[in-house]
Structure 1
Amino acid sequence: MRSALVVGTGLIGTSIALALARRGIEVYLSDTDEAAARTAASLGAGHNGRPTQPVDVAILAVPPARIGRILAEAQREDWARVYTDVASVKALVHGSAEEAGADLSRFIGGHPLAGRERSGPLAARADLFEGRPWVLTPGPTTSRDALNQALELVSLCGAVPVVMDTEEHDHAVALISHAPHLVAALMAARLENAREESVRISGTGIRDLTRIAGGAPELWEDILSANAPAIAEVLAAYAADLNEAVEALRAVAGSDADAAKRGATDLAELLRRGNAGHARIPGKHGAASASYTAVPVLISDRPGELARLFATAGSVGVNIEDVRIDHSPGREAGLVELLVDPAVADRLSADLAASGWRVQS
């Protein structure tokens, strides 16, 4: 690949352009929002404007409902040899492209599973896709050239290619992305009118659970609408489990001893299923999920403190697998949990304490 056109200079489109430009690819940028395209160009993502000759690949980073029409138009005007998109739904895109009369042999669906809560070109990062899955959904007529160009695009962005069927992809993202976003939004919505005293004592649990609810509503409205049937199916299963949990909790709180016992058993089963499902989420480097031990350290909220803590852990030969931070309400301090291999947790605690860190037992 020598040249590419990125149509749509939001977070994903600009991040792709930055990644390609960093690898020496001649990148062109196009957007109906001229200010966004100029901003992306100023960041070093490429040239603002369409090329005068067809590029190797055109990446359509626009809302799903617009892709079919833009693809057909782009092919009529010969923008590129092959085309791909980055929408988080695929059946709608393939269907609309076919209806618009696009040449599907020169198109392959794509979906990089990476993002941020922020949107727009200023939130873009060249390393956004490093190590992340990037789903490709070739159709029955997709050419080998289109597939190879898409695979090269994924590689240049540092992502990991995953080939899936369009329907399989849409059901998968409904389960692991779209429905969870709605659930997070519903949970966060409970906080909108909550008492200040309740919100003030929020910790890492509610923060982690609702983090993705901070996404742009207008973007997510498009995504949820485009994959509505698959998401509704997942949420219906959620609703059944929620109803079961409600009935179990009411039984536990009731005066009927037998019903309370059954309710406790039902709650235990729901929690067991949650443990089993959580264990299936891939861990580090895509390997099986691992169990780590948390080493809690109290640190002050001053520049360089976190880096100094990591440096101390590194100096004693301990690899930090993950980290959680909980800020203390009303104090310029926070609790940092270093997640490490259980075999080294005690040694790390002792070495940190010896170095003057306040390790909590």
Structure 2
Amino acid sequence: MRTALVIGTGLIGTSAALALAGRGVTVHLRDHDPASARTAAALGAGTDAEPEGRVDLAIVAVPPAHVAAALAEAMRAGAARGYLDVASVKGGPQRELEAMGLDLTPYIGSHPMSGKERSGPLAATADLFEGRPWVLTPTRTTDTEVLNLALELVALCRAVPVVMDADAHDRAVALVSHTPQLVSSMVAARLEEAEESAVRLCGQGIRDVTRIAASDPRMWIEILSANPGPVADVLSGVAADLDETVRALRSLQSEDEEKRRDGAEGVEDVLRRGNAGRARVPGKHGAAPAAYETVAVLISDRPGELARIFADAGRAGVNIEDVRIEHATGQQAGLVQLMVDPQAAPALSHSLQSQGWSLRTP
């Protein structure tokens, strides 16, 4: 791949463009808002000038409701050798293209399983897709050359290709992406009118659960409108679990010992099933989940402290697998939780203490 056209310069489109441009591909940027394309170009994602001829791959990164129309326009104009979209739903756009009577041999659907709660070109990064699954949903007629272009795109973005049927993909993302967004928003909504004394007690648990609730509602309305049935099916199962859990908790309030025992068993059941489900979530780079040990360090709110602790960990020869930061309510300090290989934890703890860091029990 030498040339690409990115249509839609939001988070995903600009991130893909940054990755391609950084690896020597000439990228042309197009957006219904020219200012967005200019911003992406200023970030180094390519040029907002129109290509002089046909490019190798056109990447359509617009909201699901507009994918089919944007693809059809580009395909009818002969803009590229191959066409690919990155929408978070796949079945609907594919059926729309088929209904238009278009030749789908140069088209392949795709969905990079990566994102942020922020949107727009300024949120984009070249490493957004690194190590993350990138689903490809070829049609019955997708040309081999186009599949190879898509695989090259995934490789240049350092993602992991996964080939799926379009409708199977939509059922999968309803479970692992779309429903979590709604559940996160529902939990966060409980905080809107909560007493200030309760909100001040928020710790890492509530921050983890509600992080994606900060996402743009307009974007999610478009996504959910394109995949309502599968999401409703998953939520129906969640609702059944909620009903059972509510009944179990009410039973725990009973004066009857047998009812309290049944209530405890009901709560334990959902917690244990949660353990089992969580254990299936892939870890780093799609591998089986690893059991890391946490080294918790008290850190001040002074500029440069995070950079210093990472540098000190690097000097200790320890790779930080994951990190979490918990701010202390009302104080200019926080707790940095460094997740590392269990065998490396003692050496890291000793090294950080010798360099003046104060460690805490996480």
How does the TM-score come out when normalised to structure 2? Answer: 0.96
SS at 1:161's partner residue?
Answer: strand
Counterpart residue number, 1:246: 246
What is the match of residue 224 of structure 2? Answer: 224
1:317 match: 317
Contact 2:132 2:286 in 1 (8 A): no
Matched, 1:12 2:12: yes
Check the 8 A contact 2:293/2:345 in 1, yes or no. yes
Q: % of aligned pairs identical?
A: 60
* Deviation sequence 1:69-108 (CA, Å, 0-9, x none): 2222222211111100000000011011111222111100
What does the per-residue CA deviation read over 1:14-41, in whole Å, with 9 as the maximum and x for residues that have no partner? 1111111111212111111111112112
Count of residue pairs brought into register by the alignment: 361
The alignment status of 1:200 with 2:200, answered yes or no, reads: yes
Q: Does 1:115 align with 2:115?
A: yes
CA distance in 2, matches of 1:104, 1:328: 55
Match of 2:326 in 1: 326
Return closer, same or farther for 1:202/1:167 CA change in 2, 3 Å cut-off.
same
> What root-mean-square deviation, in Å, do the aligned CA atoms of Structure 1 and Structure 2 show?
1.4
> Bigger shift: 242-251 or 60-69?
60-69
- Structure 1 SS opposite 2:62: coil
1:357 aligned partner: 357
Correspondence 1:64 to 2:60: no
Report what 1:273 is aligned to: 273
Distance (Å, rounded) in 2 between the aligned partners of 1:253 and 1:343: 44
CA distance in 1, matches of 2:152, 2:122: 26
**Aligned-residue offset at 1:176:** 0.6
Kindly provide the amino acid, as one letter, of the partner of residue 207 in structure 2. R
| 8 Å Cα contact 2:63-2:222 kept in structure 1 | yes
SS at match of 2:252: helix
Partner in structure 2 of residue 137 of structure 1 = 137
Structure 1 contact 68–98 (Cα < 8 Å) conserved: no
- What pairs up with 1:292-311 in 2 under 5 angstroms? 292-311=292-311
Instruction: Give, in angstroms, the shift of residue 347 of structure 1.
Output: 4.3
Q: After superposition, what is the alpha-carbon deviation per residue over 1:217-242, rounded to whole angstroms, capped at 9, x for unaligned? A: 11110001101111011101100111
Give how far 1:310 is off: 2.5
Tell me the CA shift for residue 187 of structure 1.
0.6
Give the letter for the 2:92 counterpart: L
* SS of the residue 1:105 aligns to: coil
Equivalent-residue separation in structure 1 for 2:171 and 2:250 (angstroms): 33
Change over 3 Å in CA distance of 1:324–1:64 after alignment to 2: same
Distance apart, 1:146 and its partner CA: 1.1
Change in CA separation of 1:343 and 1:76 when aligned onto 2, cut-off 3 Å = closer
In the other structure, the counterpart of 1:40 is: 40
Unaligned runs of 5+ in 2: none
Map 1:123-162 → 2, pairs under 5 A: 123-162=123-162
CA distance in 1, matches of 2:315, 2:105: 55
Give the Cα separation in 1 of the matches to 2:109 and 2:67.
10
Cα deviations by residue, 1:120-167 (Å, 9 ceiling, x for unpaired) = 111111221122111100011111011011111111112111111111
Query: Equivalent residue of 1:192, what SS?
Result: coil
